[in-house]
Amino acid sequence: MYSIAEIEKIIDGKFLLQKDADAVVEHLLIDSRKLLFPSSTLFFTIPGPRRQGNAFIKDLYYKGVRNFIVDKSFVFLPDDYPEANIILAENVLAALQQLTAAHRQQFTIPVIGITGSNGKTIVKEWLHQLLQSDYTIVRSPKSYNSQIGVPLSVWQMNTTHTLGIFEAGISLPGEMEKLEQIIQPGIGIFTNIGEAHSEGFESIASKIGEKINLFINTGVVIYCKDEILIDEALVALQQKNSNTLFSWGQKEDATLCISTIQVQPFNTVIKAVYGDKKISISIPFTNDAAIKNAITCWCVLLHLKISNEIIQERMLQLKPVEMRLELKEGINNCSVINDSYSADITSLSIALDFLLQQQQHPKRTVIISDILQSGKTNAALYEEVADILKQKNISRLIGIGTEISKYSNSFAAIKETAFFNSTNEFKQQFPSLHFYNETILLKGARVFEFEQISHLLEQKSHQTVLEINLSALIHNLKIYQQQLNPGVKLMAMVKAFSYGSGSFEIANILQFQKVDYLAVAYADEGVELRRAGIALPIMVMNAEESTFDMLVQFNLEPELYSFGILNAFDNYLQQSGINNYPVHIKLDTGMHRLGFEPNEIKELSARLQSSGQFKIQSIFSHLASSDNKVHDDFTKQQEKIFIKGCNEIAKNINYPFIKHIANTSAIHRHKNLQLDMVRLGIGLYGVDGNETMQQQLKNVSTLKTTISQIKKVKAGESIGYSRKGIAEKDSVIATVRIGYADGYPRSLGNGAGKMWVSGKLVPVIGNVCMDMTMLDITGVAAAEGDDVIVFGEKLPVAELANWAGTIAYEILTGISQRVKRVYYEE
């Protein structure tokens, strides 16, 4: 941690405003959407491709950030930021790099710097797996290897670490010199050289020359001697700087001379000569890239004087590193592989290998964008792409981009092809492309926004609509905010698709209205909000091990409710090199659903105290019956258990955390339980069990459908499945476009439920069908195509729930995703 005054000197800056020179900075922020700890955060206003970083200062200041690095483009009035420390820097990015370089100089631990075109992340993660029992390791999160990513990675270093492992990637000349000053590696690794990000360099040799600048001060460089250009460049560097070269390859003069590589069905045995000894390892992988990466790691462990017997044992335990390749269910019985993380020849080949592993569909389609910065002429580039697709036996190719479209003739060998100049043009023609029963690989550079295509491939449509009145939702929010004691925060529950009302559409309104927190049930709900630009802190109430990567990638804060999930997430954070990650601790005070029991609090406290991976954002519990006066004594008992648990944990944690237990009903029925924060759920959507509160709320959701057909039915004739509906007289029957597949309960059949048609309530007749329901509209003036209200202002959802023998929660959350949501403001 540094004071803001120390930072001003380190970066050669100048205070424009200085409120508190002793303000402590612990966290660096370059993306306002990832704010976690406002009071100890320093925001760098690095300009982005669309907006200046200065544009986010006001909002961050409002959220509690008080320390900023700006350039001369920032114009402000001192009265706008009375509590701020604002430092002027000549170049904000350079200031970030200066600060983190100075931070790196505070440590004398061994540091490994990794560069190369491919394999950096795999080698880094495998080294962590192999060395974590010997060292406390700090390493780059994910693929943080850019001019911004490297500084943020190195900033993680603290006195507990005994080894650092950092990636470094470049796309332009001059960049590696800056990264070398930040990483300052003692051990260097050059994985390989390829075509990714080659456009900024005159040749492959010039790119190698730039990359080896990472090693100008390293003691040893590990690399593959069989890559001739790399070998020549490093030998020249050695002659100049006296580096030690640790090479591997099939050449006899390699430090680790590979004699044989035996690929077996489930593993690979690699034999080599090291010094005068014959040694070997076996790895649980068979592909060429994994073999090369494993040999690189082998060299590092040998250099660190780890015995080959131990290396053999650890190599057998290597696990795959999950990259950003996702397989999803698609429309029309399709499977969708989304790999829009990067677009180059090497990663295309990897993605195609994954595509070929999918055996669920005989037809394989590739949707690919222009490949950028390949370093090749487009003619040669797309000829090579065409050859690869032909070798992989791709059934259909869809090319998106002006350049790939120009070379459409190169893909003549592929059976079906189509080309579009842009993603928007593809979207316009989407219906005519007829995706059905196939596996589809999306491979696009990020600028082509292939997430739009992914959305189309999962998209569903339906005439029945759920209308959401955003003005009413804002009104309800303010009603509950008026109930809060001074200083109490508000967490809005947007789980279960915001109680059926929508996802980011609702979250956007809540963010604009300055709620303090959002809560979702599962990680994918939080991911959708992050992708939609929601920057508010988000608590995930049902975190699963399979979603830990998503939690961290999208800055989602998990609820930890048992030692099982706590230990699993702790291990994950350790393996990822992440400390002080925000989490929420759930206590079970009597509901007996999720949470730590009272008899587990002592052990929990000790566990939280000993772990450096967690930053406790809040401790909370759930009231079982806060809406019912009959159970008020039980509510008080829950309060007592909760406060006792919080106090015991607080004794072992030397920083404050948020305490919250009050849900919607408790906000107004048990104001003493508002504590630090309340959780507003169904009340936000216009439903409260308290009659006085209900009268103050506005209806938010209106479920509407339309009449498909009107029939005249004679007395005694039956309507619907199992002939349950019988016309007692000559009747007029309307079939409407909603059924139990849309969330309309089957229990509302045979007169139990009613709908609003032309200003009148009419009964359901017969059984509710999957997609349709029949209404007896005898005596009501109606026509085919007319609107029908299933629930809304005149027919409250609570009343419909009562007819169905359930609660409003179940009705709202049960509305199918195929029901289109329509949002409006009055």
Which positions are catalytic? Answer: 495, 721
Sheet order of strands, 27-29 included: 14-17, 85-88, 67-70, 41-44, 27-29
- Per the CB < 8 A criterion, the answer to whether 115 and 176 are in contact is yes
For residue 576, give both structure tokens.
Answer: 């990822």
Identify the H or E element spanning 168. Answer: none
Whose tokens are 């032909």? That residue is 390
For residue 538, give both structure tokens.
Answer: 């988000």
Write down the H helix ranges in 560-600. 563-576
826: CB partners within 8 A, 6+ apart: 469, 471, 472
Neighbours of 158 (CB within 10 A): 15
- Measure the CA–CA gap between 717 and 152, rounded to whole angstroms: 74
- Per the CB < 8 A criterion, the answer to whether 612 and 160 are in contact is yes
- Measure the CA–CA gap between 743 and 501, rounded to whole angstroms: 13
- Measure the CA–CA gap between 812 and 809, rounded to whole angstroms: 5
Alpha-carbon 335 to chain mean position: 21
- Per the CB < 8 A criterion, the answer to whether 816 and 822 are in contact is no
Q: Name which of 630, 617, 623, 616 is nearest 667 in CA terms.
A: 623
For 99-153, give the secondary structure using H, E and C.
HHHHHHCCCCCCEEEEECCCCHHHHHHHHHHHHCCCCCEEECCCCCCCCCHHHHH
- Measure the CA–CA gap between 558 and 539, rounded to whole angstroms: 6
- Measure the CA–CA gap between 545 and 48, rounded to whole angstroms: 34
